[in-house]
Structures are given as C-alpha cells and as structure tokens.
Amino acid sequence: MADLQLTFPAAAEHVARARAAVAGYASRFVDHGTLAGVIVATGEAATELVEGADASAALTVEVHRIGTDLVVTLRRTGPGVAPRRGLGARLLDALAAEVSRTSGPDGAEVALTFRASPAGAPAGRRAPLAASS
C-alpha cells in the first residue's frame, strides 16, 4: 500500500502537482541532495508518461518506503505513447538507484527507487533511509 497516492488527469499542467506532492512526502525522509534528484526524476517520468497521452488518460503517483528505499511509481492509464528511451531515460538512470519501465495497450508505468540519507544527513544517493518514528 502506498504512503501517498494521488491521481490526476494525464496532462502536462499536472506534472508540477505530481512533483510537489512527491517532494512534500520525500522531504521528511531524505537529504537535500537526494530530494533534488527525486524531484527532477519524478518530473521527468511524469512528463514522459503524459506526453502523447489520450485525453481520457489518468496519471497516478504513488510513493512508499520499502525497507531503506523510497519508491516513486507513476502510472498512466489508457492508450498513449510508451515512455521514451533517450535522454530522459539516461537522466532517470543517473538519478535513481533503480528504474523500471513497462507499457502496454492499457497504459504505462515508470517506477523509481531511491536510496537516500535521512533528512539533515550528508548527501548520498545510496545511503540508508531513516526508519519511521
């Protein structure tokens, strides 16, 4: 189950809302350097998914923690263009510890996994995430 789940119309004007929601949640658990990567990667993945989306498509953003990892999953329902594999893909691969992309006739998904230092700790993309209190 996601700690944060939001659904928006799959349109460019909602990408900033997705980024802001993920940033608000992630900022409680990760250092500033990792947070910047989470924000950029979330925006890029959301942009990939909404570009070419059918007018009836929805974008769902889920964020949860699995052990020491922060996982951001973005899912677009409905037909549309599959997520790109070019510069955007290289950016996601550089920012996240793990990236998975799936697509089919019913939609597409990008899942991003981050390993990060706790908020206030020195920056480090692959350091352990703080436990919930």
Task: Give tens-digit pLDDT for 30-80.
Answer: 888 889 999 999 999 999 899 878 888 999 999 999 887 899 999 999 876
Which of the four CATH numbers 3.30.499.10, 3.40.50.300, 1.10.3720.10, 3.30.565.10 does domain 4-115 have?
3.30.565.10
Give the pLDDT score at 2: 78
Stronger pLDDT, 62 or 123, i.e. the higher one = 62
Q: What share of the chain is helix, strand, coil (3-state, %, to 5)?
A: 30, 30, 40
Q: pLDDT class for 114, splitting at 50, 70, 90?
A: very high
Query: What is the value of pTM for the model shown?
Result: 0.82
Domain boundaries, the chain: 4-115
> How much of the chain exceeds pLDDT 70, in percent?
82
Query: Which strand (E) or helix (H) includes residue 93?
Result: helix 87-95
Helix (H, G, I), strand (E, B) or coil at 85: coil
Give the pLDDT score at 118: 57
